[in-house]
Every structure is written in C-alpha cells, then in structure tokens.
Structure 1
Amino acid sequence: MGKISQLTGKSYHCNSGLNLVFVAIGNTLGNLLGIDEDFVYFYHTTYARILVKMDAKNDLPTEIYLSENRFNGSIPRSICSDFDCLEYLDLSKNRLNDVIPTNLASCSSLYILNLAQNYLEGEMPRELENLTELQTLNLGENKLQGVIPPSIKSCTKLRVFDTGKNRIQGSIPVWIVELAELRILNLAFNKLQGTFPPDLHRLRNLQILDLSHNNLSGLIPQSLGKLNAMANQTQSDVIEMSSSDWVMGDGVGKIPEEMGELKGLIALNVSNNNLSGSIPESFGGMAHLESLDLSRNMLSGNIPADLVNLTFLSVLNVSNNNL
C-alpha cells in the first residue's frame, strides 16, 4: 500500500457544501468515492479505505479513519501540527512502525486515539499528558516497551485504556485508580510484574478488567467485590485474570468470597494460577454469569450446588483442580 507520507489541508468544495481533504498515499492523491452526510469517502487504486469528517468552519478534518489498510512506515509527524482541530484519529490495523510521535500530544482536542494492531515500537510518549480530552487510548497489539508513564494520569476523562499484547514492563501503577471514568482496562499479554493495585475498587465505573498473561502475583483483594459497576445487575461486565500467579500473602491463594458480590458480571476467568481453597458459595448468586473459568488451579472441596441456578451460565470450566 505504501506510506502515509503526507496529510495536507488542501480542500476541494463539493456540491453538497462539504469540503474534503486530500490524503496523499505515497505520491498519489486519493480519489473521491462518495459523500454521506458529514463524511467524505476516498479510495485509492489499491483500495485504501479512507474516511474523513470535516469542520465546516475552517475546512480542516476533525475525524480521520485510516483503519484496515496496509499502510507502512511511520506516523506522519505533521499530522497534528497541520490539523490542530483533530478529535478522532484511527490508524489501527495497518503496518505502521517506528515510535509514536511525541507531537501527537499537540492534538489537544483528541478524544479518540486508536493505534492498535500495528508494529509500533518504543515507549508510550510522556507527552500524552497534554491530551486531557482523551476518552479512548487504544495502543493494543503493537511492540511497545517500557513502563506505563505516570503522565497518563493527567488524562482524567479516559474511559478506555488498552495496551494489551505489547511488551510493557514494570508494575500496574497505583495511580491508575485516579482514572475514575475508566470503563475498560486491558493490560493483558504484557510483562507486568508486582501485585494487584489495592485500591482498584475505586474504579467504580469499570466494566471490563483484563490483567491476564502477565507475571503478576500476590493478593486478589477482597475489595474487588466493591466495583460498583460490576455489582450492578444491569451491566455486562468481564474480569480476566488468567495465567498470572495470584496467591495470598500467606501462600494460600483463595478466591475472595466478596467476588460473588459482582452481580453484573457475565464472565470471570482466573484460570491457570496458583489459587487454592474452595469455590466461593457466593458465586451461586451471580445471576448474569455466562462464563466461569477456574481451571488449572489447586482448588479443592465441592462445586457449590447453587451454580445450577445460574440459568445464563453456558461455560463452566473447573478442570485440572482437586475438586
């Protein structure tokens, strides 16, 4: 497909009264494909999918969608200096490499930044702290390294924070609980170490939590049962904490009885850990549960009889335990 070599502000006036921006792919300008309300579609001779939403006042794009193409090379460093009113940038599912340019932070109006499923390297820029309007930051499935920078805590409006399937190291920062608007937190498939953040229950809006496939250890805190959104039976929520090393401080890795208070939970996976003790009786009251995976642990005792009352439960895996 080639590189996203240039994003220019040159516009072309259409009969609908909309303006569109030319997106240069290599040395070839995209061609107009169609117009639908506020959006302008482009295509390239090699079938690039490009969608741009324009600001009628200054003829500059506010939203750029370049997802699911085969663009390679680096992200243009001029992208925000040229388009300072950009609010939505989706470059996901391409072949982009190199580092995330620090001047992305100059797009102070961004509320969605999706760079997932590329080959981006290096660390998360500390300058991201300038994106105070950001609601979604999706960096999943790249080759990012380093730690989660503390500057992220300045993005207090974040609802989605996804760095899954990278090479992120260090611990889960304690300040993560300051992102009070978080709905989705995905840190899975990294190289994180350390223990569970003790105050994670302060994320009262959290609906999806995925910490699986890291090198985490230590306590699953009883306070996890206080996650308000997951305790709400009108929500659809997921906890994924498989393939870590969850054990209690005394070496007895029990599943906290309080986790049964998460009445809105639809999926819970704590498989492939070092958990022991029994399956909490409180799980029989998780009426919305559809999938429960406790396999590959050291659980013992009886399977709670009340699990038969979970009418939505379609997946129950307790294999490879001592039940």
Structure 2
Amino acid sequence: VMPYPTRIFRNLSGEEIEAYSNRFSSHLVDTVQRYQPQLIHSHHLWILTSLVKRLFPHIAVVASCHGSDLRQYDQCPHLRRQVGSGCQLLDAILTLSPEQKSQIVKQYRIPPDQIYVTGGGYDEAIFYGDSSPVNSKQTVILYAGKLSRAKGVPWLLKALIGLSQHTFHLHLVGGGSGKEYDACLREAEHLKNRVTVHGIISQQRLANLMRQSDVFVLPSLHEGLPLVVLEALACDCQVIATDLPGTRDIQQRLSCDNLVLVDKPLIRDIDATELVDERRFIEDLKAAITSWISDQSRASKNMINLEYYSWSKVFQRIEKIWFESTAR
C-alpha cells in the first residue's frame, strides 16, 4: 500500500508495459545525451534497469538489488525474459546479503562473479549510542516503519495488547495510507495510554527516540537488509526482528546478543498479507518481548562494533566496484 494511486506489475497489459518502457526510454536517452555519463547506477533488478543496459550497452551499468525485485521476478513469469535480457548484461550487481546473491544466481542465471555483497549502510553521524541509564520504571518499546500488514504491525500490536501484566510504553513511528493504515491505528487505540503514535518524523528525532528506548521491534514479513535494525543497534537498543535473510546476516556477522530473531510466519496470500497461523506469530512476538522484559541482566546497554555496516564503509565498497566497472 503506497500513499498514491498504484498498479501491480503482474496486472499490467502488454500495451501498458510497453508504454511504461517507452516513456522512460525517451527521458533516459535525453538525459544520457545531455550528461554523457561514464557509469549509471540503477536500483532494482527489474524492467527499468534492464531497459537501461539494453539502451546503453557501451556504458557501464551497476545495479543494486533490494529484495522486492526478486519477489516481482517470482510473481511475474511473463516479464522474466524482458527483465533478464538486460540484467544478465549488467557490469556489476550489488546485493545486501549472501543469501540474496544466491537467489539472483538461481533466478536470473547470472554468474556469481558479476555479483558483489556490499551490504547496507546506516548514517553513523546520526545513529549512535550514549551512556544514559535505562528507565527502570517501564520498558520503552519502539517500532519505526510503514504502518502496514507487510511490516507486521497488526500482529505486533496484538502481541502487546496481550502483555497487560507488564509495564511498558510503545512508540509507534511511521506513516501509511488506506485501510491497512487505518486498521493499525484502530488496533493501537486498544493500548490506550501505553502507546504514542508519532507519525512520520525526522531521522534525528528517530535517533533520539532510539536512544531513549529499551527494545526496538521489527516484525516485518519482507525485507532486504533493514537499515532500521542497524540504526537501532547503533543506538544501543535490544532488537527483536523477524528471521529473514537480511536480519540473519546481521546476526551472524555481528555475533551479538542484542539481536533476537522470531520465526517468520507462513504467508497464505502474499498480496493480502494473510498468514497461515497468525496466532503463533503473535505468541512468538509476545514471548520474545516478555523474555527481554523479564531478563533484568539485559537491562544494561551493550556496545557492539557496527563499522562494517556504516555508510562510509559501504560506500567504500560500492565506489571500488564503480571504478572497476568503468575500467573494463
């Protein structure tokens, strides 16, 4: 659900896909003629990235995969040839995790030596920890992201509603639109004075909220490498997140106790985000949050080394690939 009128790619007709491609083609040709770039960095292994490489085979094209493109490729078999014809010619592909790289090799049939795991980077100038004492009166819980079913927000709220025996306060940060957003707000009302709904806020204000929070929860059902998890860890939060390739990669690379993963629920309908067993997901979230609240030994904030995921380090890895791609 986006905050503007949208269409689903798999429901577009052949004529609409052609119109979409033609409109971008004219703008791309004008832009390249004007700026004469040595390199183009595109995002998502999808129709537009494929189009860019087919239009400009003489220019180095590097593309970043974010995960949603892999789901589109899986759901739109009729577009795979169009997408693959250009993506297989890319000079380099940047991925968020080793598992994502393996998916690209399998789905797009692209040689692994064209694919680089660069990870994702957070802004260390904004997101950092401090030595402030933890609030001993109540557990401060934070969620930040779109208020939608795909982000798992309804089930997080249901889990918290069931924790009536614990003292906590939830900060709910993020925007949305439509019925899903309204449903999340209605669900949040059941928490009464135990929730503050902030809406969309600045990165600086989010970082301050993270530094004031004990636990950050991201119950998302789909993510590449969620930067918000890195940002929360950088601010010394304990993080509870769904077990996804990106969060698993963070946990394995950092080898820390600050990140607890909850089993991802089975999804019955990916478009409507209907779960096979939503009760189990709610109970798993509830158990993870309760475990943290009950374990007082976790109350002190632990510093971890996130240098690999800092934006400066990620940019160094990306810049190196840019230079290598233009030198070929």
State the TM-score, normalizing by the size of structure 1: 0.25
Higher helix share: 2
Relative contact order higher in (CA < 8 Å, ≥ 6 apart): 2
Q: Whose strand fraction is larger, Structure 1's or Structure 2's? A: 1
- Based on CA coordinates, which of the two structures has the bigger radius of gyration? 1
